[in-house]
Copies of this chain bind each other. A is one copy, B any other.
Amino acid sequence: MKACGIVAEYNPLHTGHVYQMNKTRQISQADCIIVVMSGNFVQRGEPAVIDKYARTSAALKAGADIVVELPVYYALSSAENFAKGAVLTLNEMKAASICFGAETDNADCLAKISRTIISESPEYKAILNKALAEGLSYPAARQTALLEYLPECKDIITGSNNILAIEYIKAILYNNLNMTYYPVLREGAGYNDDSDTAEYASAFGIRKMLMSDEHDKLKTYLTAGMYEEISNSKSCPLFPDDFSNIFNHKMLFIKQICNINNTDFAEKLAEYEDISPDIANRFVAAFTGRDNITEFAMKVKSKNIVYSRICRCIMHIILEIRKSMSDSYNNIPYIRLLGFNKTGQQYLGSIKKELDVPFITKAADYKKELIFDFACSDIYAQAVYEKYGYVMKNELQQNIIRI
Listed in ascending order, the chain A residues whose CB lies under 8 Å from chain B are 245-246, 248-250, 252-253, 255-257, 259-260, 262, 289-290, 320, 368, 371-372, 374-375, 378-379, 382, 385-386, 391
Nearest first, the 4 A-B pairs at minimum CB distance are A249-B249, A256-B375, A259-B371, A289-B382
Contact of A375 among B248, B250, B260, B386 (CB under 8 A): B260
B371 and A290 contacting across the interface, CB-CB below 8 Å: no
Nearest CB in chain B to that of A376: its residue = B256
| Known pairs A245-B245, A249-B249, A260-B372 / 11 extra A-B pairs, C-beta < 8 Å | A245-B249, A246-B249, A246-B252, A249-B382, A252-B379, A253-B320, A256-B378, A259-B371, A262-B368, A262-B371, A290-B391
A252 and B378 contacting across the interface, CB-CB below 8 Å: yes
Nearest CB in chain B to that of A386: its residue = B245
Q: A38 CB to closest chain B CB, in angstroms?
A: 20
A260 and B391 contacting across the interface, CB-CB below 8 Å: no
- Chain B residues with CB under 8 Å of A259's CB are 371, 374-375
- Chain B residues with CB under 8 Å of A290's CB are 385, 391
Taken together as a complex, chains A and B put the C-alpha atoms of A250 and B246 apart, in Å, by 9
How many copies of this kind of chain does the complex include?
Answer: 2
> Known contacts being A260-B372, A371-B259, is A252 close to B289, with CB within 8 Å?
no
Q: A392 CB to closest chain B CB, in angstroms?
A: 11
Q: A92 CB to closest chain B CB, in angstroms?
A: 24
A253 and B253 contacting across the interface, CB-CB below 8 Å: yes
29 intermolecular pairs with C-beta atoms under 8 Å apart: A245-B249, A245-B386, A246-B249, A248-B382, A249-B249, A249-B250, A250-B253, A252-B378, A252-B379, A252-B382, A253-B320, A255-B378, A256-B320, A256-B378, A256-B379, A259-B371, A259-B374, A259-B375, A260-B320, A260-B371, A260-B372, A260-B375, A262-B368, A262-B371, A289-B378, A289-B382, A289-B385, A290-B385, A290-B391
- Chain B residues with CB under 8 Å of A378's CB are 252, 255-256, 289
- Chain B residues with CB under 8 Å of A320's CB are 253, 256-257, 260
- Chain B residues with CB under 8 Å of A262's CB are 368, 371
Nearest CB in chain B to that of A247: its residue = B249
- Chain B residues with CB under 8 Å of A391's CB are 290
- Chain B residues with CB under 8 Å of A257's CB are 320
